[in-house]
Amino acid sequence: MSGAPSIVWLRDDLRVADNPALAAAVERGRPVVVLYLLDEESAGVRPLGGASRWWLHHSLERLGEELAGLGGALTLRRGAAERSIPSLIEETGADAVYWNRRYGAARQTDAALKSRVIDDGLEATSFQASLLFEPWTITTGAGGPYGVFTPYWKACMNRAEPREPLPAPTRIEGIAPGGDALADWTLLPTRPDWAEGLRETWTPGSAGAHDRLEEFAEEMLADYHRRDEPDLRATSMLSPHLRFGEISPFEVWHRIRYGLSAAAAKNRDKFLSEIGWREFSYHILFHHPDLATRNYRADFDAFPWTTPEDAELDRWRRGRTGIPIVDAGMRQLWRTGWMHNRVRMITASFLTKNLQVDWRTGEEWFWDTLVDADEASNAASWQWVAGSGADAAPYFRVFNPELQAKKFDPRGEYVHRWVPEVGTDEYPEPMVDLRESRQAALDAYEAVSAAR
């Protein structure tokens, strides 16, 4: 095979199947350079948290093996995209660059790069791969973005069915211009090695993602109506795989859409609407690229958040608040890099309401510790719980962790699994009185609302 090579620049799409950018490059019939760039410099790029770095390492390792099995290779480089891509083009003599779109603030970098490559007389083409519905294509009757989920998802469901997933290429004519060794990026923790629980819980990579999807469709989807029970394995645990694009939403969609048992089929639409929340979060992020740092609802700018001592915050971070369900969730997160959705809501409500701590502080902790830390879903969900977000729970809806535990963990199995010392002398007293702190939060909110 000869001719100028094509570059495929991978980002949040670490897969070979249903990868339109890779498929286009292979289709072109020229040698292919598959690049992953560790870019912690470009405008709009948020450096990965610790748990995500762990995941990325393993995901890239798997992807490298998969590409090699097809005749290709994964080139690893580090640096800002605006410098690294042009220099790779020059070095390899490539005349085309392909990538799958991203939707946060970093898309400015992509747009500038695309113009530059095209101005140089080369090809730069981007593709839809990570979302079922491109954020700018779903508009209200007035032509603007949606701010409420239900009509947003209804509008999506009125669109044509998402396309079928693309097959993986059968052969890639790869060239590897030389780059970094994965180990040199030191993405894995060493001293201390806190990743044992992550290793026990996850199998990063596309094969692990497809196993999870299959297992979920066959076994757990039938229990999805009980998805709020944190001790029951009733949800898919696909979130980190979707986050890193080891599996595409198109693959998930088409697997779940057809070929289910009758019991599973009953829960299908509910599950697909959760995929819809992921889409909605990206819709919001696309229109508000500063979603992780700025209140979606500006009336929250005046909210009197408290500034806790680090030791106090640490009690929340490490699961030592003295509120069992909160501590169970925070320990599950610390150990496994994941927390059940219901408990994410309870722990986030406790931080932003009972402790009156700014949602951004919680968002940052989750960003560092979640393996599925996602620039759209994490920010949108924190703002949703805090009350400052799109289609948010009103601020005065303060979750009562004790009632939540009674309802969703009635036998205390989840709590006992993560907080075995509960009920003994070793377990701390509650760091706040739930009733008083709830009232204090409501009073603060009242004062801000009255001042408007």
Residues whose CB is less than 8 angstroms from the CB of residue 439 and which lie 6 or more positions away in sequence, other chains included = none
SS3 219: helix
Nearer to ligand FAD, 75 or 281 (CB): 281
Determine whether the annotation assigns residue 373 to a binding site.
yes
Determine whether the annotation assigns residue 372 to a binding site.
yes
Nearer to ligand FAD, 9 or 359 (CB): 359
Nearest to 407 by CA among 160, 231, 196: 231
Name the helix (H) or strand (E) containing 99.
strand 96-100
Taking the C-alpha atoms of residue 239 and residue 242, their distance in angstroms, rounded to an integer, is 5
Determine whether the annotation assigns residue 239 to a binding site.
yes
Min. distance of Cβ 351 from ligand FAD in angstroms?
9
Nearer to ligand FAD, 359 or 445 (CB): 359
Which residues form the interface with ligand FAD (CB under 6 A)? 227, 235-239, 242-243, 274-275, 277-278, 281, 341, 344-345, 348, 366, 370, 372-374, 377-378, 381-382, 385
Taking the C-alpha atoms of residue 241 and residue 229, their distance in angstroms, rounded to an integer, is 22
Determine whether the annotation assigns residue 238 to a binding site.
yes
Cα dihedral across residues 338, 341, 346, 348: positive or negative: positive
For the CA atoms of the chain, what is the radius of gyration?
23
CA atoms lying within 13 Å on the CB side of residue 62: 21
Nearer to ligand FAD, 72 or 276 (CB): 276
Min. distance of Cβ 375 from ligand FAD in angstroms?
8
Determine whether the annotation assigns residue 170 to a binding site.
no
Nearer to ligand FAD, 341 or 400 (CB): 341
Produce one character per residue of 153-183: b if its CB has 16 or more CB atoms within 10 Å, e if not.
bebbeeeeebeebbebbeebbbbbbebeebe
Nearer to ligand FAD, 72 or 401 (CB): 401
Nearer to ligand FAD, 30 or 331 (CB): 331
Min. distance of Cβ 108 from ligand FAD in angstroms?
22
In contact, 285 and 375? CB cutoff 8 Å:
yes
Nearest to 441 by CA among 399, 391, 384, 380: 399
Min. distance of Cβ 238 from ligand FAD in angstroms?
4
In contact, 258 and 268? CB cutoff 8 Å:
no
Nearer to ligand FAD, 316 or 366 (CB): 366
Min. distance of Cβ 210 from ligand FAD in angstroms?
14
Determine whether the annotation assigns residue 374 to a binding site.
yes
Nearest to 156 by CA among 311, 7, 241, 276: 276
Min. distance of Cβ 242 from ligand FAD in angstroms?
4
Nearer to ligand FAD, 277 or 408 (CB): 277
Please name the residue that has the structure tokens 């980190």: 240
Neighbours of 261 (CB within 10 A): 12
Determine whether the annotation assigns residue 235 to a binding site.
yes
Min. distance of Cβ 263 from ligand FAD in angstroms?
16
CA atoms lying within 13 Å on the CB side of residue 40: 8
List Cα–Cα distances, 400 to 144, 334, 354, in angstroms: 36, 23, 9
SS3 174: strand
Min. distance of Cβ 301 from ligand FAD in angstroms?
20
The structure tokens listed for 314 are 């640490």
Min. distance of Cβ 3 from ligand FAD in angstroms?
39
Nearest to 322 by CA among 292, 355, 299: 355
Determine whether the annotation assigns residue 386 to a binding site.
no
Positions at the binding site for FAD: 224, 235-239, 271, 372-374
Positions at the binding site: 224, 235-239, 271, 372-374
